[in-house]
Structure 1
Amino acid sequence: MSDAAARDAPLAGIGCLVLAAVTWGCSFPVGKAAMLVVDAYFLTAIRYGFAAAVLLGVLLHTEGAAALRCDGRPLLVALLGVIGIGGGVLMMFIGLHHTQAEHAAVIVATQPLVAALLGWVIRKQRPGRATLFAIGLAFTGVALVVTRGDPSSLAGTGSAIGDLLVLGAALCWVTYTLCAAAFPSWSALRFTALTAGAGALFVVAATLVATQLGVAAVPTSGQLQSVAWQILFVTFGAALLGTLCWNIGIRRVGAGGVLFINFVPITAFIIGIMQGYRFNWAEVVGAALVIIGLLSSRIGTANQKGDTG
């Protein structure tokens, strides 16, 4: 790689991460609007069915038929697809149906700190004091946002269930992201395409079961047409472009790239303001605490490395 290419690689990675985060931030209010017409099951099945087909087609064209093989790990690829797409995305959209788009975006932004907690539980890697402080700060912020400063407001509403589902989805996506390290020789396109394909099959199967149980309803052609642009955006913008750009960006920038997840709630809040939503003091302060928590976590980690280096 030339010196110019080496310098451009991180910049390109940063651009990918910003694009992914902004796209995901937009997908919350856009997806919420689409779910007023098409339920979460069919919306997720449609978006990842098309996205996976496109990704697999591009993979076949660029890397050849050999790239479609799982290198002896089909069960792991399938499991990650189920966790990342089935758990991470389907659960996210079901939760989004029961809560506000801006609240879901704030919860999703805590993923880097959720990753630290997951590493503590699984790998017995206790986070440093700065990270523990950041985790407490961020989850205090989340509590302020989802309750709007009044915990009693959650009683008798489905928003608490929705927020918990979104938190569970964030945990699934963190697991999916961390496990990507098990495929260092694969390109970001290959990892994204194969896991998305497995995840899409799971979502389609779950949608069929939900339909039989009466939980999901088959949308009519008129309903699909009425939210066509929203479906196109969450499919080709968030699901396809966003996921691929995120995986590319993380590989080029490294673990520090997770900070760009801050653009998700910022984007969602800006759109909410443009749509006329009036945020109260607790929502604004809570979102700020989450962002400060993420920043302080990365700064504390960097200082810790500097002291030991």
Structure 2
Amino acid sequence: MRVATWRRWVDGEAFLAVLIWGASFPIVKHGVDSFGPLGFAVVRLIVAIACLLLWLRWRGEALRIERADWPRLAVAGFGAMGLFQILFLVGMHHTTATHSALFLNTSPLWALPISWLVERQRPRLGAIIGAVLGFAGVVAMIGRPEGEARSTLWGDLLTLGAALCWVGVTLIPRPLVRRYGAVPITTWMLIASLVVVSLVGFPETMQSLHEVPGWGAWGALLYTGILAMVGANVFWQRAVQRLGAATTLVYYYLQPGIALVLGAMFVGERIRVTQVIGIMAVFVGVLLAQRAGLQENVPRIAAPVTRRSP
């Protein structure tokens, strides 16, 4: 009963996923600068897939997917997840951290109309207010855009494309995760994305491995490969089953706030008043979206899952 009451306010797995991702931004930046964006993407995908395969073997779970579900899985893996890896890392390399965070956090706004069109579920007023309020909080936290020459229109457009792809990563595999589980579907999606990223980034990967980076870069690779790609993605897909894609994506807004708080705790960075207001706005937006998402998905959660006979 206590767990059910707690989840009315905050979903633990969605929060844990964005906590891992929020802490990983400076770590990813270090890895990208050391390996190169595409080389880093390829090697961390290999690490993540190896961990997932070991987990499946230890649990005795199968990777078998029925033929009728392969088209949806292909779109989710080759299309959404594969393109996200490329657009996110290359876009980060060509724009500033401020622009990257701002454009990536447009995902919940895109999710509202896309979920309405795809799932035929009209978003509740609380979900709309939560998404808009959360984005306003992100703008307040990030502050003024950086005026560095490193920020380019090309990099901003790539990051915006990554935000759209992340909506696909969240929305498209939802029926598959319900049927087969989060770990097998996450494994297949990462395998498909590895194929896509390897086709583009193989030369850069060979060069990065020829010039072996330092221990710090390998530590960044292991953190993002194991925690950010395996743990956080599995937590995220499970949360989508309970809340729906549009509601879960509002949790994405928490990442800049988590980065600010961790920076204040461990690096001694100062948090401005406007950033505190932004963090509060994000939390209120998440709470509103959380309540709306649970109300919308109560029938779906309560209904038993029908398994196909072998």
Q: Which runs of 5+ in 2 are unaligned?
A: 299-310
Aligned to 2:219, which of 212, 229, 234? 229
Q: Which runs of 5+ in 1 are unaligned?
A: none
CA RMSD of aligned residues (A): 4.0
Matched residue SS, 1:69: coil
Mapped contact 2:13–2:238 kept (Cα < 8 A): yes
How far residue 102 of structure 1 moved from its aligned partner, in angstroms, is 6.1
For 2:259, the equivalent position in structure 1 comes to: 268
CA distance in structure 2 between the partners assigned to 1:288 and 1:9 by the alignment: 19
Q: How does 1:1-309 map onto structure 2 within 5 Å?
A: 14-64=11-61, 67-72=62-67, 73-101=69-97, 104-105=100-101, 107-122=103-118, 127-141=123-137, 148-149=143-144, 156-158=149-151, 161-183=154-176, 184-208=178-202, 211=204, 217-251=207-241, 253-255=242-244, 258=249, 260-273=251-264, 274-275=266-267, 289-298=281-290
CA distance in structure 1 between the partners assigned to 2:6 and 2:72 by the alignment: 30
CA distance in structure 2 between the partners assigned to 1:305 and 1:58 by the alignment: 30
| Count of residues paired in the alignment | 292
Matched residue SS, 1:149: coil
Mapped contact 2:19–2:258 kept (Cα < 8 A): yes
Q: Is the deviation greater in 21-30 or in 277-286?
A: 277-286
How far residue 18 of structure 1 moved from its aligned partner, in angstroms, is 3.0
Q: Kindly provide the amino acid, as one letter, of the partner of residue 144 in structure 2.
A: G
Identity in percent: 24
Residues 298 and 246 (structure 1 numbering): CA distance in 2 closer, same or farther, change over 3 Å?
Answer: closer
Residues 8 and 53 (structure 1 numbering): CA distance in 2 closer, same or farther, change over 3 Å?
Answer: farther
CA distance in structure 2 between the partners assigned to 1:104 and 1:291 by the alignment: 21
CA distance in structure 1 between the partners assigned to 2:156 and 2:284 by the alignment: 21
Q: Kindly provide the amino acid, as one letter, of the partner of residue 41 in structure 2.
A: T
**TM-score normalised to structure 1 length:** 0.74
For 2:303, the equivalent position in structure 1 comes to: none
Matched residue SS, 2:180: coil
Mapped contact 1:101–1:268 kept (Cα < 8 A): no
Mapped contact 1:29–1:101 kept (Cα < 8 A): no
Mapped contact 2:251–2:286 kept (Cα < 8 A): no
**TM-score normalised to structure 2 length:** 0.74
